[in-house]
């Protein structure tokens, strides 16, 4: 089966170049609006921001047109006073570097990024620093120097979680690292980093980025031969691109679909996908994807012995490839010309600046005289501001006192609530003990030896219930104070199940109840041992508590089929079950349940609330499935130990 190798290089390079976003520019993004505003009289700082924004707006699709605006922005930034120059110069350098990168002018791009990097260090702008390292890594990757590229990405990875680094910068870095690992044939690591980028894009509701990383993941899965996952990922990505009318993304994803259909031996669908990609790419002027479509169509025709058709498609491919190469050469020459003209204008501008320096000296003398006159006014303003600050501080103190009072009241309510829970749940075991004493008197009076023989089991059951309640209350109190630290370690699930079964075996036997378990012998969790024990004890204890005599509790563990990073632990019983309203109340209730007014209630849900808290602390989920008369199934997901 034909697998066109020419697309592999394109797929590897798909996520290499990082768009360098000029942060902090809150200006219109329409190029015509920006150009119209530039034609008016504006302050230098506003003009610099507009030039930088216009450069960035055009740098991706029209880098040659964007270049003069970027050069003008850098030149203007260098003329600003020192206190105003640094931020504007940094952003303009990043935008201009992105233009040269898209024009394949690596040396000039690296020079600009080095200067931006020094400015970012001086200003302690962590976001800009991470962006420069990421962009440098992409340039070296494009050159084929993957060792140097990885060194730059490592520097960025050491800093990308620091405060101040934007989600957009993190996404681009993770995507680029994934592309580098894919280029190095380390597909599992590429999947890891692109999955992180995809998760971040979804958290930020960045649909464009989500579509891009879905396409990348599809590429990596295709490389691994996991074709069902490829189709699912591409379907999601293409749906997003169609909703956004992102024609370029649609063309790229349809090319990927064509490759998928070729590998799954669906030539008709492959032909339809590549022809749709060709149509979209032609309409949008996306010549690189037109070139890819020509190559696939030529290869397909040759594969099925349609040599005349293959020749026609290949001829179009060669002609368009020559056109693209010529266009890139012209863009590089134009960039060099613009760079020379900009440098000449900058030299003349420096001469004018020197002439204006002397005039500026006289202006400063006049300004000093004005400053002396304004000094008295400044003193009055200072005193007025101090008065306002004192009033503001007093108001802030009042607000702080009110907030502290509210918190104290909340703590008192929480404490009373916990006392009510303890008093309520203690009533059951204490009543059981009182009942046992009455039974002792009764059995002794009747000389009922069989009844006396059953009393130890009743006492044991009541003491187990009391011990279970106290254990839950203690764990809850410690978890609320923050002193219960989660320390994940690898845990063998069969050992956990066996320990829980042994703990409740006596209690179950007293009521003719049965506990069974099933788990793969080598399946392990990466979880805190004490928290996991508490979760299992509460699930089994609750099942036994509400289940009639002769019932059955079954513990089972299995890998999560939808998430390979998680393990599913389930506890199923043959008890009376619960209504949908009761299940909804348990799943959506408060962190600490309300005391039940029903005297026959045997539990407040404190154990389940504790389970939810511990499961969420591990990043897992807890799901309850139950119907009246059909028993209950509680399933929790916890991380798997690799």
Local mean pLDDT, 10-residue blocks, the chain (642 residues): 43 38 42 78 84 81 80 86 76 87 83 89 90 91 88 91 89 90 88 90 88 88 86 90 86 88 88 88 82 86 84 86 64 51 58 71 80 82 84 86 80 60 56 65 77 70 65 60 75 91 79 89 90 89 86 93 92 90 79 49 64 89 90 93 84
DSSP string, 85-130: HHHHHHHHHHHHHHHHHHTT-HHHHHHHHHHHHHHHHHHT-HHHHH
What is d(CA 483, CA 141) in angstroms, rounded to the nearest whole number?
Answer: 47
pTM of the model: 0.47
Among 540, 467, 547, residue whose Cα is nearest residue 513 = 547
Query: Which of 63-68's residues contact partners 24+ apart within 8 Å by CB, and which partners?
Result: 63/99, 63/100, 63/102, 63/103, 63/331, 63/335, 64/103, 64/330, 64/331, 64/334, 64/335, 66/95, 66/99, 67/96, 67/99, 67/100, 67/103, 67/334, 67/335, 67/338, 68/338, 68/342
- The answer to whether residues 158 and 132 touch, using CB atoms and an 8 Å cutoff, is no
- CA distance from start to end of the chain: 36
CB burial of 240-260 (b: ≥16 within 10 Å; e: otherwise) equals bbeeeebbbbbbbbbbbbbbb
CA 17 to mean position of chain CA atoms: 21
Pairing of strands 514-518, 622-626: unpaired
- The answer to whether residues 490 and 524 touch, using CB atoms and an 8 Å cutoff, is yes
In degrees rounded to 5, what are phi and psi of residue 68?
-60, -35
Structure tokens of 223? 């490389």
Structural domains in the chain, CATH included, are: 11-160 (1.25.40.10), 484-639 (3.30.565.10)
What is d(CA 447, CA 382) in angstroms, rounded to the nearest whole number?
Answer: 96
Q: Please give the order of strands across the beta sheet that includes 566-573.
A: 514-518, 552-559, 566-573, 632-639, 622-626
DSSP 8-state class, residue 516: E
CA 53 to mean position of chain CA atoms: 27
Place of tokens 């309409």: 283
Q: For the purposes of burial, counting CB atoms within 10 Å of the CB of 389, is it exposed (0-12), middle (13-18) or buried (19 or more)?
A: exposed
- Helix or strand run (H / E) with residue 639: strand 632-639
Alpha-carbon separation of residue 320 from 14, 288, 326, 445, 595 (angstroms) = 20, 9, 10, 107, 76
Structure tokens of 523? 């399946």
Q: Note the helical H segments in 447-555.
A: 449-481, 493-510, 529-546
In degrees rounded to 5, what are phi and psi of residue 492?
-80, 120
Residue 65 has a pLDDT of: 81
- Helix or strand run (H / E) with residue 426: helix 307-446
Cβ neighbors of 266 (< 8 A, separation 6 or more) are none
Structure tokens of 46? 């506003």
In a 13 Å sphere around the CA of 574, the CA atoms on its Cβ side amount to 12
Partners of 491 in the beta sheet?
525
What is d(CA 278, CA 95) in angstroms, rounded to the nearest whole number?
Answer: 31
Q: For the purposes of burial, counting CB atoms within 10 Å of the CB of 377, is it exposed (0-12), middle (13-18) or buried (19 or more)?
A: exposed
Query: Which of 269-276's residues contact partners 24+ apart within 8 Å by CB, and which partners?
Result: 270/296, 270/300, 271/297, 271/300, 274/300
Residue 592 has a pLDDT of: 55
- The answer to whether residues 16 and 141 touch, using CB atoms and an 8 Å cutoff, is yes
- Helix or strand run (H / E) with residue 573: strand 566-573
What is d(CA 549, CA 573) in angstroms, rounded to the nearest whole number?
Answer: 12
The count of other CB atoms within 10 Å of the CB of residue 215 is 25
What is d(CA 13, CA 5) in angstroms, rounded to the nearest whole number?
Answer: 14
């Amino acid at each position: 089966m034909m697998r066109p190798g020419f697309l592999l290089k394109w797929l590897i390079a798909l996520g290499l170049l990082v768009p360098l976003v000029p942060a902090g520019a809150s200006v219109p993004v329409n190029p015509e609006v920006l150009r119209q505003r530039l034609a008016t009289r504006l302050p230098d700082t506003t003009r610099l921001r507009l030039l930088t924004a216009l450069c960035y707006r055009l740098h991706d699709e029209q880098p040659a047109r964007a270049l003069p605006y970027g050069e003008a922005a850098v030149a203007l930034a260098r003329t600003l006073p020192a206190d105003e120059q640094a931020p504007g110069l940094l952003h303009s350098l990043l935008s201009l570097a992105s233009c040269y990168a898209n024009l394949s002018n690596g040396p000039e791009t690296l020079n600009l990024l080095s200067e931006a990097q020094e400015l970012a260090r001086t200003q302690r702008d962590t976001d800009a620093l991470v962006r420069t390292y990421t962009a440098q890594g992409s340039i070296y990757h494009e050159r084929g120097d993957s060792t140097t590229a990885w060194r730059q990405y490592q520097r960025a990875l050491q800093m990308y979680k620091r405060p101040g680094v934007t989600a957009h910068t993190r996404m681009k870095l993770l995507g680029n690292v994934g592309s580098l690992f894919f280029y190095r044939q380390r597909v599992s690591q590429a999947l890891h980093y692109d999955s992180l980028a995809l998760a971040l894009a979804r958290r930020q509701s960045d649909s464009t980025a989500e579509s891009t990383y879905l396409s990348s993941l599809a590429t990596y899965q295709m490389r691994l031969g996991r074709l069902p996952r490829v189709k699912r990922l591409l379907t999601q990505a293409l749906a997003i691109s169609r909703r956004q009318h992102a024609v370029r993304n649609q063309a790229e994803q349809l090319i990927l679909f064509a490759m998928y259909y070729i590998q799954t031996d669906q030539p008709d669908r492959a032909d339809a996908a590549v022809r749709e990609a060709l149509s979209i790419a032609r309409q949008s002027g996306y010549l690189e994807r037109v070139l890819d479509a020509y190559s696939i169509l030529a290869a397909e025709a040759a594969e099925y012995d349609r040599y005349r058709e293959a020749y026609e498609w290949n001829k179009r491919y060669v002609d368009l490839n020559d056109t693209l190469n010529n266009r890139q050469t012209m863009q590089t020459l134009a960039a060099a010309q613009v760079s020379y003209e900009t440098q000449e204008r900058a030299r003349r501008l420096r001469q004018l600046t020197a002439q204006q320096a002397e005039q500026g000296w006289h202006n400063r003398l006049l300004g000093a005289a004005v400053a002396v006159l304004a000094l008295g006014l400044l003193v009055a303003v200072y005193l007025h501001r101090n008065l306002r600050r004192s009033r503001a501080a007093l108001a802030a103190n009042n607000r702080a006192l009110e907030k502290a009072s509210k918190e104290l009241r909340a703590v008192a309510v929480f404490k009373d609530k916990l006392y009510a829970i303890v008093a309520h749940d203690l009533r059951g075991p204490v009543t059981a003990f009182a009942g046992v004493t009455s039974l002792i008197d009764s059995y002794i009076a009747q000389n009922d030896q069989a009844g006396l023989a059953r009393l130890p089991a009743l006492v044991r059951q009541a003491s187990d219930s009391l011990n279970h309640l106290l254990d839950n209350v203690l764990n809850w109190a410690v978890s609320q104070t923050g002193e219960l630290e989660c320390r994940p370690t690898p845990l063998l699930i069969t050992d956990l199940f066996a320990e829980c079964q042994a703990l409740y075996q006596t209690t179950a036997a007293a009521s003719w109840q049965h506990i069974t378990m099933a788990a793969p012998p080598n399946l392990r969790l990466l979880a805190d041992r004490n928290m996991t024990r508490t979760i299992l004890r509460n699930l089994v204890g609750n099942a036994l508590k509400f289940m009639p005599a002769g019932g059955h509790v079954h513990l089972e563990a299995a890998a999560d089929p939808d998430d390979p990073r998680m393990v599913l632990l389930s506890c199923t019983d043959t008890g009376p079950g619960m209504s949908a309203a009761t299940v909804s109340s348990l799943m959506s209730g408060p962190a600490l349940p309300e005391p039940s007014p029903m005297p026959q209630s045997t539990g407040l849900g404190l154990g389940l609330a504790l389970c939810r808290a511990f499961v969420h602390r591990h990043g897992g989920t807890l799901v309850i499935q139950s119907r009246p008369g059909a028993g209950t199934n509680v399933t929790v997901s916890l991380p798997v130990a690799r």
